């Protein structure tokens, strides 16, 4: 079988997990790794018997790789990806593709100009329930959507935030729960329900000693006038993963990775106007939606990306779609900071100025012992 030669740049918690996952993806061959921490680069390189580098440019220029996975902290995703693209190397960027929409624009522009394959690690798109949900919306089974909800809550301890200098800081991370934990949910939410055009948010740092938000709530308005609500935090146990998309013809709910769908006998506006029953409401029939059996997770995205390079298979997670979650993240953070409604597309220059101001105020974080433990749910 033909294989794509991969380098992984940033082999901490997630990158080292990707190196292990890649061993079971036949279309991929790990040929090099890179980390700025010599001990880490050497350990992961030796674990897999591949060449290791301390500088990403040397890995990209080594002739050893056809593609890279960029699994560094977020701020490095754009410069490393753009360098690789300009050298004709395919890029699979970790999420989020960038901290700011302006940097995301630059990545997308470079991918278009160079023509190199570009994807983003939004592995939740590979799940059967997400694929089925997207299909229902595309087939028009919901009709026009008039309301959405996203609740995406997690728990992270102070020890998690204290595990690396970049975590929970403006300078190192560029945001909190919105930019780190929520992007997967925000990607699915916007992939299925579209991107709002206006956001009014409140952000807070409630439970942790960090610079950035660990909680965000926002009211959303869509181009068609639909309303939405989102809430995310790293303050809750057990976490909740809920999405609702209410349409004129049906209602779709995804709750803790299970899909529920109700079809209305009569579209809701038509029923509202035509019924003469004082207490009537449209009949809603629960529908058993077939969920496709398929490979999921990081392996599915790596395989799809490699098959895209080898055989032109359509991408599950095109890099340019990675900007939607960044638009929403930037809009919620900016609205929370200003206490005002913010429009999407986000004003590029205003957000750059905001993030520069936050970075300038950001304090150097001293970490007693850096820890790079792969999240148990991503261990292979």
Ligand X SMILES: NC(=O)c1ccc[n+]([C@@H]2O[C@H](COP(=O)([O-])OP(=O)(O)OC[C@H]3O[C@@H](n4cnc5c(N)ncnc54)[C@H](O)[C@@H]3O)[C@@H](O)[C@H]2O)c1
Which is nearer to ligand X, 34 or 216 (by Cβ)? Answer: 34
Task: Report the nearest approach of ligand X to the CB of residue 273 (Å).
Answer: 46
How would DSSP label each residue in 318-367?
BGGGGHHHHHHHHHHHHHHHHTS-EESS--HHHHHHHHHHHHHHPPP---
Q: Please check whether residue 80 is in contact with residue 331, taking contact to mean a CB–CB distance below 8 angstroms.
A: no
Strand ranges, E, within 55-121: 67-70, 90-93, 118-120
Q: Which two tokens stand for residue 44?
A: 């992961």
**CB atoms closer than 10 angstroms to residue 88:** 11
Window 361 to 380, contacts with ligand X (CB under 6 A): 372, 378
CA distance 76 to 62: 20
Pairing of strands 258-264, 67-70: unpaired
Task: Report the nearest approach of ligand X to the CB of residue 10 (Å).
Answer: 3
Task: Report the nearest approach of ligand X to the CB of residue 44 (Å).
Answer: 9
Which is nearer to ligand X, 272 or 370 (by Cβ)? Answer: 370
Window 53 to 72, contacts with ligand X (CB under 6 A): 56, 71-72
Residue position matching structure tokens 């997690």: 154
Binding flag, residue 322, ligand X (CB under 6 A): no
Which is nearer to ligand X, 65 or 220 (by Cβ)? Answer: 65
Q: Please check whether residue 109 is in contact with residue 101, taking contact to mean a CB–CB distance below 8 angstroms.
A: no
Nearest to 207 by CA among 168, 150, 244: 168
Single residue of 45, 73, 117, 194 touching ligand X by CB under 6 A: 73
CA distance 244 to 147: 8
Draw the binding track, 118-157, toward ligand X (x: CB under 6 A; -: no contact).
---x-x----------------------------------
Pairing of strands 4-9, 28-34: parallel
Binding flag, residue 168, ligand X (CB under 6 A): no
CA distance 96 to 77: 8
Task: Report the nearest approach of ligand X to the CB of residue 305 (Å).
Answer: 13
For 214-252, letters b (16+ CB in 10 Å) and e give: bbbbbbbbbeeebebebbbbbbbeebebebbbbbbbbbb
Which is nearer to ligand X, 277 or 377 (by Cβ)? Answer: 377
Task: Report the nearest approach of ligand X to the CB of residue 262 (Å).
Answer: 31
Task: Report the nearest approach of ligand X to the CB of residue 191 (Å).
Answer: 15
Draw the binding track, 5-44, toward ligand X (x: CB under 6 A; -: no contact).
----xx-xxxx------------------xxxx--x----
Window 234 to 293, contacts with ligand X (CB under 6 A): none
Task: Report the nearest approach of ligand X to the CB of residue 13 (Å).
Answer: 3
Residue nearest to ligand X (CB): 12
Which is nearer to ligand X, 154 or 261 (by Cβ)? Answer: 154
Window 175 to 204, contacts with ligand X (CB under 6 A): 180
Q: Which two tokens stand for residue 190?
A: 């916007």
Window 91 to 120, contacts with ligand X (CB under 6 A): 94-95
Task: Report the nearest approach of ligand X to the CB of residue 208 (Å).
Answer: 16
Which is nearer to ligand X, 164 or 199 (by Cβ)? Answer: 164
**Number of residues binding to ligand X, judged by CB under 6 A:** 25
Binding flag, residue 74, ligand X (CB under 6 A): yes
Which whole-number Å values give the CA distances from 219 to 203, 212, 308, in the listed order? 12, 20, 37
* Number of helical H runs and strand E runs in the chain: 13, 15
Single residue of 6, 52, 76, 154 touching ligand X by CB under 6 A: 76
Using a CB cutoff of 8 Å and minimum separation of 24, what contacts does 79-86 make? 80/9, 80/56, 81/107, 81/110, 81/118, 82/106, 82/107, 82/110, 83/56, 83/57, 84/56, 84/60, 84/116, 85/110, 85/111, 85/114, 85/116, 85/118, 86/110, 86/114
Which is nearer to ligand X, 199 or 301 (by Cβ)? Answer: 301
Which is nearer to ligand X, 282 or 322 (by Cβ)? Answer: 322
Which is nearer to ligand X, 3 or 378 (by Cβ)? Answer: 378
Which residues of the shown chain bind ligand X in the complex (CB under 6 A)? 9-10, 12-15, 34-37, 40, 56, 71-74, 76, 94-95, 121, 123, 164, 180, 372, 378
């Amino acid at each position: 079988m033909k294989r794509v030669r991969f380098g992984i740049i940033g082999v901490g918690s997630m990158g080292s997990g990707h190196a292990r996952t890649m061993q079971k993806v036949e279309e991929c061959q790990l040929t090099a790794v890179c980390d700025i921490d010599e001990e880490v680069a050497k350990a992961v390189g030796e674990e897999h018997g591949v060449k290791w580098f301390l500088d990403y440019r040397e890995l990209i220029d080594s002739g050893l790789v056809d593609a890279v996975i960029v699994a560094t902290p977020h701020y490095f995703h754009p410069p490393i990806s753009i360098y690789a693209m300009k050298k004709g190397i395919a890029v699979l960027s970790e999420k989020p593709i960038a901290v700011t929409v302006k940097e995301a624009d630059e990545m997308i522009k470079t991918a278009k100009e160079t023509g190199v394959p570009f994807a983003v690690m939004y592995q939740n798109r590979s799940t059967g329930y997400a694929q089925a949900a997207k299909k229902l919306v595309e087939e028009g089974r919901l009709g026009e959507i008039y309301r959405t909800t996203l609740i995406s809550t997690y728990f992270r301890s102070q020890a998690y935030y204290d595990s690396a200098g970049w975590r929970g800081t403006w300078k190192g991370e560029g945001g909190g729960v919105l930019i780190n934990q929520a992007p997967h949910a925000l990607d699915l939410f916007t992939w299925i329900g579209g991107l709002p055009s206006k956001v009014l948010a409140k952000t807070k740092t409630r439970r942790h000693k960090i610079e950035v938000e660990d909680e965000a709530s926002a009211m959303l308005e869509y181009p068609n006038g639909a309303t939405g609500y989102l809430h995310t935090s790293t303050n809750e146990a057990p976490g909740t993963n809920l999405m609702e998309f209410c349409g004129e013809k049906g209602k779709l709910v995804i709750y803790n990775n299970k899909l529920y769908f109700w079809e209305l006998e009569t579209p809701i506006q038509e029923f509202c106007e035509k019924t003469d029953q004082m207490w009537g409401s449209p009949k809603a029939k629960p529908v058993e939606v077939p969920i496709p059996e398929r490979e999921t997770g990081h392996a599915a995205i790596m395989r799809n990306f490699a098959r895209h390079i080898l055989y032109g298979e359509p991408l599950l997670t095109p890099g340019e779609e990675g900007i939607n979650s960044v638009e929403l993240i930037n809009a919620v953070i900016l609205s929370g900071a200003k206490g005002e409604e913010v429009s999407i597309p986000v004003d590029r220059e205003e957000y750059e100025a905001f993030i520069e101001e936050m970075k300038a105020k950001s304090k150097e974080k001293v970490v007693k012992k850096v820890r790079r433990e792969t999240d148990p749910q991503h261990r292979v």
